[in-house]
Amino acid sequence: MDKLLIQGGVSLKGEIRIAGAKNSALPILAATLLTHDTVKVCNLPHLYDITTMIELMGCLGVEPIIDEKLNVEINSSSIKHFNAPYELVKTMRASILVLGPLLTRYGQAEVALPGGCAIGSRPVNLHISALQAMGANITVENGYIKASVQGKLKGAHIFMDLVTVTGTENVMMAATLAEGQTIIENAAREPEVVDLANCLIAMGADISGQGGDTIVINGVDELHGCTYAVMPDRIETGTYLIAAAATRGHIKVKDTQPDILESVLSKLEQAGSEIKIGENWIELDMHGQRPKAVSLRTAPYPAFPTDMQAQFTALNSVALGSGSITETVFENRFMHVHEMNRMGASMRVEGNTVIVDGVEALMGAPVMATDLRASASLIIAGLVSENETTVDRIYHIDRGYECIEEKLQLLGAQIRRIPS
């Protein structure tokens, strides 16, 4: 198992391009199961989770064709099995996204209960109850969700008790081929949900309201193939911008989408960054100044994203003043705090809030990643530390960041991957 070795104290400077969004790519790959035509998905990120989803397609009997740019052509007419096995699902919660497409297209699906990051309860019962409302017969036994339907799923009026991104996506995909109209209320508004909807519309689906909290889907008889490029990754974008702000740097990120990052960019401006934006780029300049502490509260989109909370915790660790960060989405998402305190940070957790008093600099130490975004925050902490930091268990980071050490090297960071 690899580690990252970081020599801190360098201000990030330069330009990088942003990869496609993992959280868009995974549901869009699942959506290719909704048609017998070929769907070409472009701008996929080079990530372990993407490889796992493509492997899952292989288990179902689909043979994806991948070109040198990692564009994938998928034709699911060769599908033979309707079972997503535990060996693959345990590493990636997004595997549950094949449930809706398999059920609505083939009338049956068997998906292992998912694994993924240990950041709190993410209930699959919302997926199950919504599909049951559409006429599915579902049992959970021996660790598997077993679903079937006689004939077609039926459109239904579904109210989501909690805002759930994958739940919204699963039901939206299932509804595209259901009989009649499905209305999802309290739907997730994330840009990645909109991206999936736009891909489904390109395949011939009848969807409206995406990006709002009520999505209306009128079922159609069949979907067709298309070519679709995945949107840029807003979390990767924000992570590099926060790393540059924390290190008092000056960077430009290209091939991104500034309009879906407003809550993050406003916090970076509060921290003292000068930010310039173009149609598909963002430039951040700290003019060599130490960042100012910011306070924030996470909530579902369009509010501040939970996936950026840990990175701002790292920025606050070396900022001027004190900031409080409140987590309202996941209950187990401060595991990085104890690791940063070992590096000399001054942080304390009070309920679902972490209060950070900024210090001049952290001290390098061996630390351990606990989940995907926490591992990104530990890398930022390493970059703002004096001397050397090693980050262990970085398989978490490889699930969500494409070539992170290579991109940071392009920005001047002294970071390299070493075997444990």
* CA of residue 29 relative to chain centroid, distance: 14
For residue 419, what are the contacts with CB-CB under 8 A and spacing of at least 6? 1, 2, 3
Q: How many CB atoms lie within 10 A of CB 159?
A: 12
Helix (H) or strand (E) segment spanning residue 201: helix 191-202
Residue 299's alpha-carbon distances to 8, 116, 194, 196, 393, in angstroms, are 32, 21, 18, 21, 28
Taking alpha carbons only, the member of 191, 82, 171, 183 closest to residue 126 is 171
Give the span between the Cα atoms of 51 and 281, in whole angstroms: 28
The label of the residue with tokens 């100044």 reads 289
Give the span between the Cα atoms of 98 and 77, in whole angstroms: 15
> Residue 7 forms beta bridges with which residues?
388, 414
Residue 419's alpha-carbon distances to 13, 390, 397, in angstroms, are 27, 11, 15
Strand order in the sheet with 144-148: 83-84, 108-112, 144-148, 137-141
Give the span between the Cα atoms of 323 and 246, in whole angstroms: 14
Burial of 374 (0-12, 13-18, 19+ CB in 10 A): buried
> Residue 108 forms beta bridges with which residues?
148
Give the span between the Cα atoms of 44 and 66, in whole angstroms: 11
Taking alpha carbons only, the member of 415, 43, 16, 7 closest to residue 236 is 16
The verdict on whether 403 is a catalytic residue reads no
Pairing of strands 108-112, 144-148: antiparallel
Q: Which of 42, 59, 117, 199 is catalytic?
A: 117
Give the span between the Cα atoms of 232 and 241, in whole angstroms: 14
Residues identified as active-site: 117
